[in-house]
């Protein structure tokens, strides 16, 4: 160290912002320097900055956002039954195929989603084999639609056809329903990852023929099950309720078995039905998703609100919906890859881009937004326990409020971050954290890992501009 630097040492204390070059130079000369990782909002894009400016500190927006949170908090989500999609999902027909994420054509679907469509057409007996199904899938006879646009959410490919089984969750406060495909279990050969082998089709048939009437009778006998209460408890039992559902699934088993025992079915049937639930540590994910959908749909369409009501991906694009811009508008960007842990023998090169409607959990303050409740999950999705808490703390910077119904003991029972605010995402450059499964990029090869990802910033940029345009229009 030079004499001159020594003399200055105790007087020179640098806080550097922006470019790192100056910071590094100061350090080289043995002087203390703290670097603040700061970028201008919206990466300095003038149009975004102008939109952000328009939308900041507007009391009408604050009030609208408060109203969205109030709707979310006052929603009582109740599991009322299980049913064939065609019997309950609005707009469903024998030739409709629902899928995860924003709308997409068959051609653009990733491998696993195409596989799931083939499986669905075979299951529905619209095709007798994969070749016939592929031809049909490419024809005009099949109508593709986004689950989200039909009060429904589906994990991974999210492919749901007429006779597939969905959980029905009613938002008793606001009267609307959310639906989600019953979770069929883990492993490589499952329908939602695009497999259509005999085991997959047999399981779908069994779910429809035996499981459905028995479970539905039990749910009816229960008078409905309060899903929000289950989630709240599970969060205190180390679930984050997206990729860790061990506690919520255990609680559901405890809730439903007494009513199964009160149905008219013989013990061997009850054993098969209850074991299907008992053997699946992710069983409750589908119920959590349907409940979150019912909760967020009620919060959709609040004029001026900048809060996100859907985060969803189809393996090609990521799409978001924003309350103030109505339930039909998607804002999209390219789907990202997932950073995580792969099952033995697989790597990022085998992975399909981010896919599935399950990020409805994060939209409701669960999953990545409550990771601090689920330290054990790092064994499944990667990262460290310290990451799990720091992710959650970051999410408070981009949310409008906290979910008082879902709390985090390790943060002194603070509510989970709730209500992603498009403005805050652009302002901070922090993107929502999502925990998720990773599908093989080819159809029929199932799950190959799990990890953590984020949406592309583009979705939020498009939404911000649209919000600003809508707001200006309303002001005129």
Site of interaction with a copy of itself (CB under 8 A): 236-238, 246-247, 250-251, 253-254, 257-258, 261-262, 267, 270-271, 274-275, 278, 375-376, 378, 384-385, 409-410, 412-413
Cβ at position 220, least distance to a copy of itself in Å: 17
Cβ distance to a copy of itself smaller for residue 15 or 386: 386
Cβ distance to a copy of itself smaller for residue 250 or 468: 250
Cβ at position 5, least distance to a copy of itself in Å: 20
Q: Phi and psi at residue 405, in whole multiples of 5°?
A: -85, -20
Half-sphere exposure of 275 (CA within 13 A, CB side): 7
Cβ at position 95, least distance to a copy of itself in Å: 40
Cβ at position 258, least distance to a copy of itself in Å: 6
Cβ at position 53, least distance to a copy of itself in Å: 40
With b for 16 or more beta-carbon neighbours within 10 A and e for fewer, the 241-258 pattern comes to bbbbbbbbbbbbbebbbe
Half-sphere exposure of 92 (CA within 13 A, CB side): 25
Cβ at position 235, least distance to a copy of itself in Å: 9
Cβ distance to a copy of itself smaller for residue 142 or 388: 388
Query: How is residue 327 written in tokens?
Result: 């339930």
**Distance in angstroms (rounded) separating the CA atoms of residues 51 and 311:** 22
**Distance in angstroms (rounded) separating the CA atoms of residues 360 and 106:** 23
Cβ distance to a copy of itself smaller for residue 86 or 378: 378
**Distance in angstroms (rounded) separating the CA atoms of residues 439 and 354:** 8
Cβ distance to a copy of itself smaller for residue 5 or 262: 262
**Distance in angstroms (rounded) separating the CA atoms of residues 151 and 282:** 21
Cβ distance to a copy of itself smaller for residue 303 or 414: 414
Angle at 286 between CA 284 and CA 291, to 5 degrees: 95
Contact 240, 374 (CB under 8 A): yes
Residue 271: in which H helix or E strand, if any?
A: helix 267-278
Residue 416 β-bridge partners: 403
Instruction: Say if strands 331-334 and 33-36 run parallel, antiparallel, or are unpaired.
Output: unpaired
Cβ at position 236, least distance to a copy of itself in Å: 4
Cβ at position 413, least distance to a copy of itself in Å: 8
Cβ distance to a copy of itself smaller for residue 267 or 473: 267
Cβ at position 408, least distance to a copy of itself in Å: 9
Strands in 317-322's sheet, in edge-to-edge order, are 331-334, 317-322, 308-314, 355-356
Cβ at position 239, least distance to a copy of itself in Å: 8
Cβ distance to a copy of itself smaller for residue 14 or 257: 257
Cβ distance to a copy of itself smaller for residue 246 or 443: 246
Instruction: Say if strands 414-420 and 399-408 run parallel, antiparallel, or are unpaired.
Output: antiparallel
Cβ distance to a copy of itself smaller for residue 55 or 408: 408
The CA radius of gyration of the chain, in Å to the nearest whole number, is 24
**Distance in angstroms (rounded) separating the CA atoms of residues 284 and 280:** 9
Contact 323, 181 (CB under 8 A): no
Give the three-class secondary structure for 361.
helix
């Amino acid at each position: 160290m030079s004499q001159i630097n020594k003399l200055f040492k105790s007087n020179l204390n640098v806080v550097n912002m922006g470019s790192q070059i100056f910071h590094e130079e100061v350090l080289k000369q043995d002087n203390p320097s703290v670097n603040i990782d700061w970028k201008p909002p919206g990466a300095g894009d003038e149009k975004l900055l102008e939109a952000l400016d328009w939308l900041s500190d507007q009391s009408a927006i604050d009030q609208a956002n408060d109203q969205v949170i109030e709707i979310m908090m006052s929603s009582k989500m109740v599991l009322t039954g299980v049913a064939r999609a065609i019997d309950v999902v609005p707009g469903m027909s024998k030739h409709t195929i629902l899928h995860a994420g924003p709308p997409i054509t068959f051609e653009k679907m990733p491998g696993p989603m195409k596989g799931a469509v083939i499986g669905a057409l075979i299951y529905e007996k619209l095709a007798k084999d994969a070749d016939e199904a592929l031809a049909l899938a490419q024809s005009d006879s099949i109508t593709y639609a986004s689950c989200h646009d039909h009060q429904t959410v589906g994990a991974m490919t999210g492919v749901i056809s007429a006779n597939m089984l969905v959980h029905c969750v009613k938002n008793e406060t606001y009267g609307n329903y959310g639906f989600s495909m019953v979770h069929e279990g883990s492993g490589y050969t499952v329908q939602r990852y695009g497999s259509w082998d005999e085991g997959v089709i047999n399981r779908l048939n069994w779910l429809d023929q035996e499981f459905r009437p028995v479970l539905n009778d039990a749910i009816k006998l229960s008078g409905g099950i309060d899903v929000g209460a289950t989630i709240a408890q599970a969060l205190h039992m180390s679930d984050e309720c997206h990729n860790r559902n061990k506690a919520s699934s255990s609680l559901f088993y405890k809730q439903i078995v007494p009513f199964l025992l009160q149905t008219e079915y013989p013990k061997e049937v009850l054993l098969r039905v209850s074991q299907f639930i008992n053997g699946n540590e992710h069983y409750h994910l589908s119920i959590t998703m349907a409940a979150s959908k019912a909760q967020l749909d009620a919060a959709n369409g609040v004029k001026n609100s900048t809060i996100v009501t859907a985060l969803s991906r189809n393996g090609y694009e990521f799409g978001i919906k924003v309350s103030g811009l109505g339930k039909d508008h998607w804002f999209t960007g390219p789907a990202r890859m997932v950073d995580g842990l792969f099952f033995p023998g697989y790597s990022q090169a085998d992975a399909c881009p981010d896919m599935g409607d399950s990020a409805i959990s994060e939209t409701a303050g669960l999953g990545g937004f409550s990771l601090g409740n689920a330290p054990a999950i790092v064994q499944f999705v990667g990262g460290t326990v310290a990451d799990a808490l720091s992710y959650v703390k970051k999410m408070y910077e981009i949310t409008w409020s906290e979910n008082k119904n879902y709390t985090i003991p390790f943060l002194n029972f603070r509510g989970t971050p709730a209500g992603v605010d498009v403005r805050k995402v652009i302002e901070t450059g922090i993107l929502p954290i999502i925990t998720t499964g990773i599908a093989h990029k080819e159809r029929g090869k199932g799950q190959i890992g799990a990890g953590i990802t984020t949406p592309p910033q583009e979705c939020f940029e498009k939404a911000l501009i649209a919000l600003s345009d809508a707001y200006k229009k309303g002001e005129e």
